[in-house]
Structure 1
Amino acid sequence: WARDTAPQAMHKTLISVMIIGLAGVLYYFSPELTDARLEADKNNVAPEVTFDSYSEGINTVFYNEDGEVDYTLRAKRQIHLNNHFTLLEKPFVQFFKDGESHWSIVAESGHVASENDTNIQMNTIQLSGDVEVHTLDDYGNPTVLSTPLLEIDPNNETLETEDAVHMETTNIIHSGLGMFADLKRDEIYFYSENSGHYEPLEKNVASEK
C-alpha cells in the first residue's frame, strides 16, 4: 500500500480509511483522525423474560491483563434481564490507549449481551439511535462517525454496522453503506455506496489566512 507523502503525514496518528466497492479498494490516509427507544427495546423482550434489576448512573470499568483501564461503559439507566441481557439508556463507551481515552461512543439506547452474570467480559454492545463515534489525533483534530446502528466488540475493540455511515475529519467528508472499524489499528473500512471528498490540509490552512 502506498503511503501519502503530503506534509500532514508528519502527524503521529494515522487513520487508514479503506473504501471497498465495485471499483476495488480506495485508500484515504489522513492525520486527523430515549426513553422511547428504551421502551421499544423493553416491548420487544419475549414474554418469558423478566426484569430482575434496575439502576441509574452506572459507570463500569474494565481492565486489561496489565491492570490498565481497557474500556468503560456508562449509562443514564440500565435494566438487567434474566436472560443475561442489559438494556441501556444514553450509553457512553470509552476505549483507552496508554492510560488515556482514545475513542468515545455515544447513543440514545443500547443493550449488552454476556454469556452469564459472572462473566466479567461482554460479548457485544449493541447501540442504536444517533450513534456517534469520536476520536482525536495528537494535535486535537477530530474524527466523527455517525450511524443509526452500531455493534461493538469490546474485547477485540472493533465496531461494525450494515447501516449508512457519515464520517467527518479535518479534511475528509465521506459517506458509505456498512462499515468495520479496528480501533487498535485506527483503521476504518467502508463497504459500499461510497461518496465524499478530500481537501489537503495546506488548502484549509491557506483559506484561514
Structure 2
Amino acid sequence: MVVYEYGVKASRAMQRPSIYLMILGLSGTLYYFFPKLTEVGKETDRNDVSPEAIFDSYSEGINTVFFNEEGEVNYTLRAKRQFHLKDQSALLEEPLVQFFKDGESRWSIVAESGRIGSSITRKASKLDIIELSGDVEVHNLNDFGGATVLSTQLLQIDPNNETLETEDKVQMVTANIIHTGLGMFADLTSDEVYFYSDNSGHYELYENKISFER
C-alpha cells in the first residue's frame, strides 16, 4: 500500500511493501478530489429519521454479489437489514462491503449503518454511491499478510470506481505505524491512500492482529 500526505515525501521502513508518506500543502486540493463530499454529513443526518415511517419495503440478511465484465466477483454487499425508502434510496443496518481481486477479498469495510442512493438492480451489475456512518473500519491485507486498518466516522464508497472518500478524521494503523489525518481519498485498485491535512503519526511496535469479521 502507498500512503500520501501531499508536499514532502519521507520514505520509511514499514511492512512489505513499503509505505511512503507525503504532506499536503494546500487545503483546496481536498475539493479537487471530491467537491460534493461536504454534503455527506447532511445526507447522513437523514438516517436518524425512523425508517419505519418512510420505507415501503424491508428485508433481512441481504447478501448481494456484483460481477465485473469478465464474470468475476467484483464486490459484495451484506447487511443485517435493509429498508427501501419511498425516495428510492435504501438504509442499511450493519453493512459489510468487500472488494475482490483474483477471487480473493482484499478490502473489507464495515460500519454501524449505511445509505445507498438507489435500490440494487435486478441484474446486480451496478450500485450507486454507498455512504457509511458510525465506527467505519476499512481493512486491507497485502500480499505478504500485512494488515492495515483505516478508521473514521463517515465514509463515501464509489464501488464502480473502487474509491473511498471522507473529509472526517481518519486513523490508520499498520504493523508499526499509527497515523492520523483529516480527510482522505483511497484508490483501492492501486492500493494508494491520500491524507489531506492535520497529519500526525508515529512508529510503534505493534503486532497488528486484525480480523475481517465484525
Deviations 1:8-60 (A, max 9, x none): xxxxxxx110012xxx2435565268xxxx99615178x8xx41210000001
Residue 150 of structure 2 corresponds to which residue in structure 1?
A: 145
1:86 to 82, 87, 90: 90
**Residue 2 of structure 2 is aligned to residue 16 of structure 1:** yes
Residue 111 of structure 1 corresponds to which residue in structure 2?
A: 115
Displacement of 1:92 = 0.2
Alpha-carbon separation, structure 1, partners of 2:206 and 2:59: 47
Alpha-carbon separation, structure 2, partners of 1:171 and 1:78: 38
Match of 1:126, SS state, is strand
Residue 57 of structure 1 corresponds to which residue in structure 2?
A: 61
Match of 1:155, SS state, is coil
Residue 134 of structure 1 corresponds to which residue in structure 2?
A: 139
Alpha-carbon separation, structure 1, partners of 2:9 and 2:79: 37
Alpha-carbon separation, structure 2, partners of 1:178 and 1:44: 29
Alpha-carbon separation, structure 2, partners of 1:150 and 1:159: 7
- 8 Å Cα contact 2:164/2:186 also seen in 1: yes
Displacement of 1:145 = 0.3
Residue 10 of structure 1 corresponds to which residue in structure 2?
A: none
Displacement of 1:126 = 0.2
In structure 1, the gaps of 5 or more residues are 1-14
Displacement of 1:172 = 1.7
Q: Could you state the TM-score of these two structures normalised by the residue count of structure 1?
A: 0.76
- 8 Å Cα contact 1:159/1:182 also seen in 2: yes
The size of the alignment, in residue pairs, is: 178
In structure 2, the gaps of 5 or more residues are 20-43, 208-214
Alpha-carbon separation, structure 2, partners of 1:194 and 1:65: 39
Q: CA RMSD in A?
A: 2.7
**Residue 147 of structure 2 is aligned to residue 164 of structure 1:** no
What amino acid maps onto 2:55 in structure 1? F
Match of 1:193, SS state, is strand
Match of 1:83, SS state, is coil
- 8 Å Cα contact 1:164/1:178 also seen in 2: yes
Displacement of 1:82 = 2.4
| Greater C-alpha radius of gyration | 1
Q: Could you state the TM-score of these two structures normalised by the residue count of structure 2?
A: 0.75
